Amino acid sequence: MKFSVSSSDLLKQLQLAAGAIGTNPVLPILEDFLFTVTGNKLNISATDLETSISTSIDVRSDKDGIIAVPARILLDTLKQLPQQPVTFNVNDENFGIEITSSFGKYKLAGENGTDFPRIPEPDSVDTVTMSTQSLNQGITKTLFATSGDELRPAMTGVYFQVDFNKITFVATDAHKLVKYTFSEDVKSEVMSNFIVPKKALNLLKNALPSGDEVTMQFNKANAFFSFGDTHMVCRLIDARYPDYNAVIPTENPNNLTVSRPDFQSSLKRISIYANKTTNQVILSINDGSLTISAQDLDFSNEATEQMTCTYVGDPLTIGFNAKFLVEMLGVLEGDEIRLELSTPTRAGIIIPDDMPDGEEVLMLVMPVMLSN
């Protein structure tokens, strides 16, 4: 089998697929790309058995064939080549690969492509289509709030709740929770829910093109994402998601409205002086004024800042982890946010004041107990 292709076009597609290759694969062949040539199309696949990415590119070929190519050496070679045509010559007997460029020849040992694990195909699936921008927003707004605790597998992914033409994304690590809903440009005829792992969503976020449409299909075991010439499959997390609505407080009589960029900048400065274990900052709020303070008694560090705000409610002093607040404010857009509070021991809710039509976001953060 022999085929020719542009080195830079090939590198771009390989870098996209390479995200699915794990760091310590259980099988040596999982360190390879699977090249399948059909007609003048080269299909490139990579997998770690949990997440798989396939993408395709036009080539000039003499016959169809299949070969597993070592990923690392191929990527490193192409990165060092300027844009030019390269030719792959594959020996069908011993799976040896010879790459020819205008500079010379490079030989590497491939493996039998038929030994490569089979990538799941969509089978008895439900389908949802949406814009890549909406999906990207959903992932960006929630991914940071997932947990790293493997003992609670459900929380290590993002919960997708499909309700006909509305999708809700939820992520929580028991300290913070994000719920993001959008209903613009979603086309679906199903009600369902499933949990997508963090790694797959990170890869998806980096691969999604702008201004395109993405088709999402899912069954009990896998989710399939298709856009352009790229297909991604990931195994879903088989666990029950906690009842997140039960932890969202509904009675929040104390409402603080404040400039999001100013509040975030102030928190970043004050947190430098906070205890490095708890990252605790204290918000003292009364009519028209918000005082943000932190201290680290071990090193005699302390800082206080005051900023103007709009506040409706009783005077309140509450402690939060500054790192969580900064992270949440960082993924929100808009100039102002509303912080809804009830008591110093109950969760605070952050809601942006101006959201586009068809989008809603609610962020919840647990307080840090105040040590008197």
Mean pLDDT of 134-157: 95
User: Looking at the predicted structure, is the pLDDT value of residue 372 above 60?
Assistant: no
The pLDDT of residue 357: 83
Answer whether residue 348 is part of any domain. Answer: yes
Residues 227 and 254 in one domain: no
Mean pLDDT of 28-36: 97
Q: How many domains does the chain have?
A: 3
The pLDDT of residue 299: 92
Q: Give CA 90 to chain center in angstroms.
A: 37
Reported as a single tens digit per residue, the pLDDT across 68-81 is 999 999 999 999 99
User: Looking at the predicted structure, is the pLDDT value of residue 247 above 80?
Assistant: yes
Q: What percent of the chain has pLDDT over 90?
A: 89
User: Looking at the predicted structure, is the pLDDT value of residue 211 above 90?
Assistant: no
- H/E stretch holding 364 reads strand 359-365
Closest CA to 321 of 348, 357, 356, 289: 348
CB 345 within 8 A of CB 331: no
Answer whether residue 23 is part of any domain. Answer: yes
Mean pLDDT of 230-258: 95
Residues 211 and 138 in one domain: yes
Reported as a single tens digit per residue, the pLDDT across 177-203 is 999 999 878 888 899 999 999 999 999
166-172 and 289-296 strand pairing: unpaired
Averaged pLDDT of the chain: 94
Mean pLDDT of 225-250: 95
Residues 91 and 158 in one domain: no
Closest CA to 225 of 165, 134, 135: 135
Residues 68 and 173 in one domain: no
The pLDDT of residue 371: 61
Show the domain range for 329.
248-365
What phi and psi, each to the nearest 5 degrees, are found at residue 355? -115, 145
Residues 216 and 291 in one domain: no
Burial of residue 205 (CB within 10 Å: 0-12, 13-18, 19+) is middle
Last residue of a domain, one of 207, 241, 275: 241
The pLDDT of residue 315: 96
Residues 6+ apart with CB under 8 A from 193: 159, 160, 161, 162, 241
Residues 75 and 157 in one domain: no
CB 365 within 8 A of CB 175: yes
Residues 273 and 193 in one domain: no
SS3 state of residue 227? strand
Residues 109 and 161 in one domain: no
Structure tokens of 245?
A: 């609505």
81: domain CATH number is: 3.10.150.10
Residues 106 and 160 in one domain: no
Residues 255 and 361 in one domain: yes
The pLDDT of residue 45: 98
Residues 22 and 110 in one domain: yes
Answer whether residue 371 is part of any domain. Answer: no
The pLDDT of residue 181: 95
Residues 171 and 255 in one domain: no
Reported as a single tens digit per residue, the pLDDT across 115-143 is 999 999 999 999 999 999 999 999 999 99
- State the Cα–Cα distance between residues 50 and 263, nearest whole angstrom: 40
Last residue of a domain, one of 215, 241, 267: 241
Answer whether residue 51 is part of any domain. Answer: yes
Through-space distance between the first and last CA atoms of the chain, rounded to whole angstroms: 75
The pLDDT of residue 212: 84
Answer whether residue 352 is part of any domain. Answer: yes
Mean pLDDT of 248-273: 96
Answer whether residue 121 is part of any domain. Answer: no
Answer whether residue 120 is part of any domain. Answer: no
The pLDDT of residue 271: 96
Q: What percent of the chain has pLDDT over 70?
A: 99
* pLDDT tier at 173, thresholds 50, 70, 90: very high
Answer whether residue 372 is part of any domain. Answer: no
Last residue of a domain, one of 241, 265, 283: 241
Query: Which contacts qualify for 223-226: CB closer than 8 Å, 24 or more apart?
Result: 223/194, 223/196, 224/120, 224/122, 224/125
